[in-house]
Structure 1
Amino acid sequence: MKYYSTNKQAPEASLQEAVIKGLASDKGLYMPEEIKRLPGSFIDDMKNKTFQEIAYQVADAYFGEDIEANVLKEIVYDTLQFDTPLVQVEKNIYSLELFHGPTLAFKDVGARFMARLLGYFIQKEGKEEVNVLVATSGDTGSAVANGFLGVPGIKVYVLYPKGKVSAIQESQFTTLGQNITALEIDGTFDDCQALVKSAFMDKELNAKMELTSANSINVARFLPQSFYYFYAYAQLAKAGVTDEVVFSVPSGNFGNITAGIFAKWMGLPIAHFIAASNRNRVFLDYLQTAEYTPRPSIATIANAMDVGDPSNFARIQELYGIFDNPWERIGKEILSYSYTDEQIGETIARVYNKTGYLLDPHGACGYQALVDVKLANDQVGIFLETAHPAKFLQTVENIIGTEVEIPTKLQKFMLGTKQSIELPKTFEAFKNYLMNL
Structure 2
Amino acid sequence: MELFLAVGKDKNYRFYNHEYDTKMIYYSLNGKAPNVGLEEAVVRGIAPDKGLYFPEEIKPLPSSFFENIESLSNNEIAFEAIKQFVEGVIPDEALKDIIEDVLSFDFPVVEIEENIGTLELFHGPTMAFKDVGARFMARCLGYFSAQSKKQEPVTVLVATSGDTGGAVARGFLNVEGVDVVILYPTGKVSDIQEKQLTTLGANITALEVDGVFDDCQAMVKTAFLDDEIISKRKLTSANSINIARWIPQLFYFLFAYKQAKSKGKELVFSVPSGNFGNICAGMVAHKLGMPVKHFVASVNSNDIVPEFLKTGVYKPKPSVATISNAMDVGDPSNFIRIQKLFNNDLEALSKKLSSFSYTDQETKEVMQYIYKETGYIADPHGAVGYLGLKDYLKNHPDAYGIFLETAHPVKFLPVVNEVIDAEISIPSQIEQVMHKEKQAIAIKNYDQFKAFLLK
1:367 and 2:386 correspond: yes
Instruction: From 425, 428, 433, give the equivalent of 2:447.
Output: 428
1:329 alignment counterpart: 348
Q: Distance in 2 between matches of 1:130 and 1:347?
A: 44
Q: Distance in 2 between matches of 1:319 and 1:380?
A: 24
Instruction: From 397, 401, 404, give the equivalent of 2:417.
Output: 397
Q: Does the 8 A contact of 1:64 with 1:72 survive in 2?
A: no
Instruction: From 198, 208, 233, give the equivalent of 2:232.
Output: 208
Q: Shift in Å at residue 124 of structure 1? A: 1.7
Q: Distance in 1 between matches of 2:84 and 2:147?
A: 22
Instruction: From 4, 16, 27, give the equivalent of 1:4.
Output: 27
Instruction: From 243, 266, 278, give the equivalent of 2:288.
Output: 266
Q: Distance in 1 between matches of 2:176 and 2:88?
A: 26
Q: Shift in Å at residue 375 of structure 1? A: 5.5
Q: Distance in 1 between matches of 2:109 and 2:295?
A: 17
Task: Note the 1:24-103 alignment, pairs <5 A.
Answer: 24-103=47-126
1:284 and 2:306 correspond: yes
2:4 alignment counterpart: none
Letter of the aligned partner of 1:38 in structure 2?
L
Q: Distance in 2 between matches of 1:339 and 1:304?
A: 14
Task: Note the 1:150-189 alignment, pairs <5 A.
Answer: 150-189=174-213
Q: Distance in 2 between matches of 1:333 and 1:242?
A: 20
Q: Give me the CA root mean square deviation.
A: 0.9
Q: Distance in 2 between matches of 1:295 and 1:127?
A: 41
Q: Distance in 2 between matches of 1:402 and 1:134?
A: 34
2:328 alignment counterpart: 306
Q: Shift in Å at residue 332 of structure 1? A: 1.3
1:417 alignment counterpart: 437
1:229 and 2:229 correspond: no
Q: Distance in 2 between matches of 1:422 and 1:217?
A: 25
Q: Shift in Å at residue 123 of structure 1? A: 2.2
1:199 and 2:223 correspond: yes
Q: What are the superposed Cα offsets for residues 42-64 of structure 1, whole Å, 9 maximum, x if unpaired?
A: 11111111111111111113213
Q: Distance in 2 between matches of 1:128 and 1:108?
A: 25
- Secondary structure of 1:270's counterpart equals coil
- Secondary structure of 1:165's counterpart equals coil
Letter of the aligned partner of 2:105 in structure 1?
F
Letter of the aligned partner of 1:86 in structure 2?
V
Q: Distance in 1 between matches of 2:346 and 2:338?
A: 10
- Secondary structure of 1:208's counterpart equals coil
Q: Does the 8 A contact of 1:36 with 1:62 survive in 2?
A: no
1:142 and 2:161 correspond: no
- Secondary structure of 2:193's counterpart equals helix
Superposition TM-score, scaled by structure 1 size? 0.97
Q: Distance in 2 between matches of 1:375 and 1:140?
A: 34
What is the total number of aligned residue pairs between the two structures? 430
Letter of the aligned partner of 2:309 in structure 1?
L
- Secondary structure of 2:194's counterpart equals helix
Q: Distance in 2 between matches of 1:130 and 1:235?
A: 39
Instruction: From 276, 281, 287, give the equivalent of 1:254.
Output: 276
Q: Distance in 2 between matches of 1:254 and 1:122?
A: 29
Letter of the aligned partner of 1:416 in structure 2?
K
Letter of the aligned partner of 1:364 in structure 2?
A
1:20 and 2:43 correspond: yes
Q: Shift in Å at residue 408 of structure 1? A: 1.5
Percent identity of equivalent pairs: 55
Q: 1:330 to 1:72 in 2, by over 3 A?
A: same
1:383 alignment counterpart: 403
Letter of the aligned partner of 2:318 in structure 1?
P
Q: Shift in Å at residue 26 of structure 1? A: 0.2
Letter of the aligned partner of 1:179 in structure 2?
N
Q: Distance in 1 between matches of 2:303 and 2:356?
A: 8
Q: Distance in 1 between matches of 2:364 and 2:275?
A: 22
Q: Shift in Å at residue 242 of structure 1? A: 1.5
Which range moves more in the overlay, 327-336 or 203-212?
Answer: 327-336
Q: What are the superposed Cα offsets for residues 294-344 of structure 1, whole Å, 9 maximum, x if unpaired?
A: 00000000000000000001111222226xxx1111111110111100000
Q: Distance in 1 between matches of 2:309 and 2:131?
A: 30
Q: Does the 8 A contact of 1:22 with 1:217 survive in 2?
A: yes
Q: Distance in 2 between matches of 1:313 and 1:127?
A: 35
Q: What are the superposed Cα offsets for residues 171-203 of structure 1, whole Å, 9 maximum, x if unpaired?
A: 001000000000000000000000000000001
Q: Does the 8 A contact of 1:375 with 1:381 survive in 2?
A: no
Q: Distance in 1 between matches of 2:190 and 2:183?
A: 15
Instruction: From 128, 131, 140, give the equivalent of 2:152.
Output: 128
Q: Distance in 1 between matches of 2:65 and 2:84?
A: 12
Letter of the aligned partner of 1:302 in structure 2?
S
Letter of the aligned partner of 1:128 in structure 2?
E
Q: Distance in 2 between matches of 1:268 and 1:291?
A: 30
Superposition TM-score, scaled by structure 2 size? 0.93
- Secondary structure of 1:416's counterpart equals coil
Letter of the aligned partner of 2:162 in structure 1?
G
Q: Distance in 1 between matches of 2:333 and 2:326?
A: 14
Q: Distance in 1 between matches of 2:398 and 2:361?
A: 31
Letter of the aligned partner of 2:317 in structure 1?
R
Q: Unaligned regions of 5+ residues in structure 2, if any? A: 1-23
- Secondary structure of 2:180's counterpart equals strand
Instruction: From 353, 367, 377, give the equivalent of 1:348.
Output: 367
Q: Unaligned regions of 5+ residues in structure 1, if any? A: none
2:297 alignment counterpart: 275
Letter of the aligned partner of 2:113 in structure 1?
E
